Amino acid sequence: MVLAAGLGTRMRPLTEATPKPLLKLAGRSLLDHALDRIDAAGIGNTVVNAHWFPDQVEAACAARARPPQVLREDTILETGGGVRNALPLLGPDPFLVVNGDAFWLDGPNPALENLATRFDPESMDALLLVMRAASVEGEVGRGDFRMDPMGRLLRPREREVVPYMYAGVQIIHPRLFEDAPEGAFSTNILWDRAIEAERLFGLVHDGAWFHLSTPVDLRKAEGLLAANLVKPLF
C-alpha cells in the first residue's frame, strides 16, 4: 500500500493545488518513484489511498502500465486508519506500506528485497526501514527510535536523542491491526503496542534516503541528484 492521502501542509505552497506524492523529483513524481520500486519488487497487488485532489492521484495511477487500485477517503484517516480501511484489499498475508512521499536510493541490494528477507512473521508484527539520523539532511529532531542488539525498536527516553528515524517504508503483519481503533488514527499507536510486546523491529537502510518535508528539502534533493553528489554523501 502507498499512503497518498495527506494534505502535505508543510510542503505548501507547492501542495496548494497538487497532492504531495505528485510533486516531481528527478523528472518523476514521488508516487511514481515509489510505485516503480514496488513493481520492480514483483508485488502484484497495490493499493493507493487518496484524499487531497483525489482525481489527480487516480489519473496518475491510471496512466501507469500496471495501474494500482485507488481507494478514496472522504475524510482523512491518517496513517493507521488509512491502512486499516484498505485491509480488505490487501489480503491475509504480511504486506508492504510505503509513504507516498518516501524517496530513497538502494544500496548494494534493493531496500524492499532487504526488508522481505529480514521479515520474520513468527517474531515480528512490523519491520520498519530506518535511517541513521546523523546521515539525513534536514530537520530530524531527536530521532524516532533506538534499537536493541536484536533489532527491536524502542522509543526514546525522556529528553533522549536517539540515532534512528523512520524512513517511510515498512512490512506489516495484519495482526498488528487487531483491535485497532475505528476512524482516523496514527500507526504510532499500533507501533507502541508492538514495542510493548517486543514485536516491532527495524532494518537500517544501506543506501541514500531523503527527508522531504518542505520545499527547501525538495530543492536540496533535486540539487544533490542533479549534481550526482549522493554517492559521496552516503
pLDDT in tens, 155-198: 988 888 888 999 999 999 999 999 999 999 999 999 999 999 99
- Whether residue 115 contacts residue 169, with contact meaning beta carbons closer than 8 Å, is answered with yes
Q: How far apart are the first and last CA of the chain?
A: 27
C-alpha cell at 157: 527516553
2-233 belongs to which homologous superfamily? Spore Coat Polysaccharide Biosynthesis Protein SpsA; Chain A (3.90.550.10)
CA atoms within 13 A on the CB side of 211: 18
Q: Where are the domains of the chain?
A: 2-233
Q: Alpha carbon of 198 to those of 124, 130, 156: distances in Å?
A: 8, 17, 15
Per-residue pLDDT reduced to its tens digit, 136-146: 765 656 778 99
Q: Among residues 160, 149, 19, 34, which one has the least CA distance to residue 96?
A: 34
Q: Alpha carbon of 17 to those of 54, 217, 218: distances in Å?
A: 11, 19, 17
Q: What DSSP assignment string belongs to 110-151?
A: -HHHHHHHH--TTT-SEEEEEEEGGG--S--TT-SBEE-TTS
Q: How many of the other CB atoms lie within 10 Å of CB of 223?
A: 10
pLDDT of 117 higher than 60: yes
Per-residue pLDDT reduced to its tens digit, 118-135: 999 999 999 999 998 777
pLDDT of residue 229: 56
